[in-house]
Structure formats: C-alpha cells, structure tokens
Chain A
Amino acid sequence: MNLKSIKECDRRSAERLLNFKLPNSYKKIGWIGVIAALAVIMSTDLFKGDQELLKDVLRKVVLAFLFVIVLSREEVEDERIQSFRVQSYSLSFLAGVLYTLFQPVVNWIAFLIFKPEKAIFEDLGDFQILWLILTVYLLFFYVLKRGDNEEHS
C-alpha cells in the first residue's frame, strides 16, 4: 500500500466517521432518557444515605443520552441541516473552551470577594464541560433551525 492510498483510506475513514448518524427515532429515545435520568438525579435527594455514586452514574447516563440526540438524524437530513450542524459544533467548541478556561477564574474571584477563606483554584469536572458542550450544541442547532423555519412562515 503506497502513501497515496493510505491517505485516501484515512480520508474515507474520516468521512465515514463524520457522516455517521443514528436514525431519527433515536432522538425521541435520547430525550426520554435525558428527562428520566435528570428526574431520578433530582429525586435522589429524597432518599436517605449517600447517593453520590448513583448520581455520578446518572450524570454519565444523561451525557450519553444527550450524545445520542446530537448524533440522531433529522427527518430530512439535507445539506442545510448539515450546515446548521457545522455552525453548532463550532459554537459549542468555542463555548466549551472559553468556559473551561475562564469559569475556574471567575469562581475563584467570586470566592475571593464573598468567601475568601474558601477561595481555591479548582478545575471543572468532566460532567460540567461535556454538559455545556452538548447543551450549547443542541441549543444553537435548534435556534438556527427554528429561526430559519420561522422566517419561512
């Protein structure tokens, strides 16, 4: 296998990965999963005892279902929808990076002002960052899609 065919093979693999989408029906499953998992997380406070492990697992479940929604096709997945996806991916990436860089600083400054004794510089957890990236993606995607659809009517 020469270098050219290796590059071609890599390009095709990347394209296959980028074009991978779950069927549209998975979107509904994703939303039901997210709502159910969030409901259970909120209701864990009602039970006695340490529920941190359960909450941790459920947070991962929420992220997994959000990812399922992100990867699900629209009813008609055409190039206009693809352009909305690209814009939403870019915006969520930017939001994720900015939040990860600046939120710990903002937290630290806020603690310095209001509770100086608790002021420690703490990095964000993986759930917080992934939650932000996935929700910002979905928010922008639906805003772009709905904004464009509303202008039609």
Chain B
Amino acid sequence: MKNTLKVERAILNLTQGELAQKIGVSRQTINSIEANRYAPSTVLSLKLSVVFNKPVNDFFALDQND
C-alpha cells in the first residue's frame, strides 16, 4: 500500500511528532507508515482522514503487490 502521508502532513505544516500526538500513536509509527513499512488499521486511517479532512482514498492507495 502506498501513501502520500508526507505530502498531506507538509500541507498542514505538521511534524511527525505533532501528527502522532493528534492521533495518539508514536512518532515512529507515523514514520513507519510514511515509509510503507506499516499498514495502519482502519481506525487509524480514519483518524488520519479526520486530521487531513480528506477521504482515506485520497492519501492511501493499493499498489501492484496488494
């Protein structure tokens, strides 16, 4: 699964730590998601959706391996 979390975060001018705090996870978790090492749960994706004020599909997409 690929994502544009880094871009969305930059638009809102948020650091990884600030975004992590907003959705109640660690900074490392945000970093892992951005690096495509960790696929977040539906709940976490929806929390990100609330922060970015966009549907989940706008910043998460399936890639060829999925």
A residues neighboring B (CB under 8 Å): 75-76, 78-81, 83, 148-149, 151-152
Chain A residue nearest in CB terms to B23: A78
The distance from the CB of B51 to the nearest CB of chain A, in whole angstroms, is 15
**Smallest beta-carbon distance B29→chain A, Å:** 4
Question: What's the nearest-Cβ distance from chain A to residue B23, in Å?
Answer: 9
> Number of B residues contacting the other chain (C-beta, 8 Å)?
15
Q: Are B32 and A78 in contact (CB under 8 A)?
A: no
Contacting B29 at CB < 8 Å: which of A75, A79, A151? A79
Given A148-B37, A151-B37, A80 and B24 contact (CB-CB distance below 8 Å): no
Closest-CB distance, A153 to chain B (whole angstroms)? 9
Q: Using an 8 Å CB-CB cutoff, how does the interface string of B33-51 with A read, 1 for contact, 0 for none? A: 0010110110110000000
Residues of B within 8 A of A76 (CB): 20, 25-26, 29
Residue numbers in A under 8 Å from B32 (CB-CB): 80, 148, 152
B1-47 interface (Cβ within 8 A of A):
20, 24-26, 28-29, 31-32, 35, 37-38, 40-41, 43-44
> Do the beta carbons of A78 and B31 come within 8 Å of each other?
no
Cβ-closest chain A residue relative to B20: A76
